[in-house]
Structure 1
């Protein structure tokens, strides 16, 4: 009986993976990931400017900016973020000297990236009805706002844990284990937010959480691969010098977007299967 159950579970998993892969091929997920990678390069500075602008709204979050930057450098694009991110932050600081029209253009660039991502999500979900402009702007603002706030909260909790460790206070093993996987928690929350808010459809929390969980694991594995095989990129550094960080960052960005869109494809497939089950029960 157990062997049969394992075989059935393996068969169902294979069928699910095939459905997700067919959906990804049908809606050109790899091409959309490449498009979003290019759009991200254009929108990186505006998004960083908006995020840091949000963090400056409260004194508590301002104090966490340096810790947040260090956290991002440690967990995003291992092997290249320590070179690329300081440049992006420097460019972001220079936006303070822009006139109002320039700042409006930067904000528009960030919104265009989110609009492009939303278009990809709606296509993968096979949703033809687009949101009204007001609803889309509110969704974009929620994504831009919740993202940095969640990062700030994780950093705050992480700092609290560190202070407890330094003072020798007792910390429950569950909490300690959770903070050891802080990067996984951040990825999960970000993937869950964009998968839950972006589709213009009824989205279930459980199915979205499953998709976000698998996507978070994939991104953690991706970062682990980049961190462990950094020595293979040494030849790029010999030829390109500091510029070698850019192709590494681009590869990481492309694969990250591919993982994100695959989680969207998985989420859409799970919801479609769930609707079939409900329809069959009604019949």
Structure 2
């Protein structure tokens, strides 16, 4: 009986992976990831400027700016972020000196990236009805605000646990495990936010959580692989110098967007299979 159940579960998992992959192929997910990668280069400075502006709203969050930058350099794009991120932060600081028209242009650039991402999500979900402009702006603003706030809260808890460990205070096993999974939890929260808010459809918490978990595992594996190939990147930098950080960062960004869009495809597929007996509205 256990063997039969195992075979059935394996077949169901294979069937799910196949459906997700076919959905991703039909919607040209790899091309969409490449488009979002290029759009991210244009929108990186505006988004960082907006995030820093939100983190400066309160003194408690303002103190987290350096911790935020340190976290990004440590956990995102291993092998290149320590070169690329400082430049982006410097550009962001210079952006504060722009006139009003320039600031509006920066915000518009960030909104274009979010609009492009939303279009990809709606296409993957096969949703034809579009949101009204007001609803889009509210969704974009929620992503730009909730993302940094969730990250700030997570980093605050992370820093509190770290301070206890440095003081030699013994923590419960649950908190110790949470400390070890700190970066994974942050990946999960960010993926859950965009997977829950972006689709213009009824979204279930349980299915979205499952998709965010898979996506967070994928990004964690990606960062582990990049970290393990640090020596390869070092050899690459011998030839290209500081410029080597840019192509490495682009490769990481491309794969990151691919994983994000695959998690969106998984989320859409799970909702489709869950609603199939009742309705076919996602087709």
* Residue 154 of structure 1, CA deviation: 1.1
Cross-structure match for 1:92 = 92
Match of 1:254? 254
* Number of residue equivalences: 280
What secondary structure sits across from 1:119 in the alignment?
A: helix
Q: Distance in 1 between matches of 2:203 and 2:141?
A: 19
Unaligned runs of 5+ in 2: none
What residue number does 2:135 align with?
135
Separation of aligned partners in 2, 1:80 and 1:170: 36
Structure 1 gap segments, 5+ residues each: none
Change (3 A) 1:240 1:169: same
The answer for the alignment partner of 1:73 in structure 2 is: 73
State the distance in 2 between where 1:129 and 1:35 align: 22
Given the alignment of the two structures, is residue 10 of structure 1 paired with residue 13 of structure 2, yes or no? Answer: no
Deviations 1:237-273 (A, max 9, x none): 1111011011100000000000000001010011000
Q: Which residue of 2 aligns with 1:27?
A: 27
State the Cα distance separating 1:168 from its structure 2 match.
Answer: 2.2
Tell me what 1:239 maps to. 239
Stretch deviating more after TM superposition (162-171 or 201-210): 162-171
Q: When the two structures are superposed, what TM-score results if normalisation uses the length of structure 2?
A: 0.97
RMSD of aligned residue pairs (Cα, Å): 1.1
TM-score by length of 1: 0.97
Measure the CA separation in 2 of the matches of 1:248 and 1:171.
38
Structure 1: how far apart are the matches of 2:123 and 2:170? 50
Q: Aligned partners of 1:216, 1:277: CA distance in 2, in Å?
A: 29
Alignment partner, residue 179 of structure 1: 179
Q: CA deviation at 1:277?
A: 3.7
Measure, in 1, the Cα distance between the counterparts of 2:225 and 2:36.
22
> Aligned-pair distance for 1:278?
4.3
- 1:188-203 correspondence runs (5 A): 188-203=188-203
Q: CA deviation at 1:279?
A: 5.5
What residue in structure 1 maps to residue 118 of structure 2? 118
String of CA shifts for 1:78-132, please: whole Å, max 9, x gaps.
1100000000000000011100000000000000000000000000001000100
Shift of 1:166: 2.2
Which residue does the alignment assign to 1:144? 144
Mapped partners of 1:64, 1:126: distance in 2:
39
The alpha-carbon deviation at position 170 of structure 1 amounts to: 2.7
- 1:65: how far off? 1.0
Looking at structure 2, the residues matched to 223 and 105 of structure 1 have their Cα atoms a distance apart, in angstroms, of 32
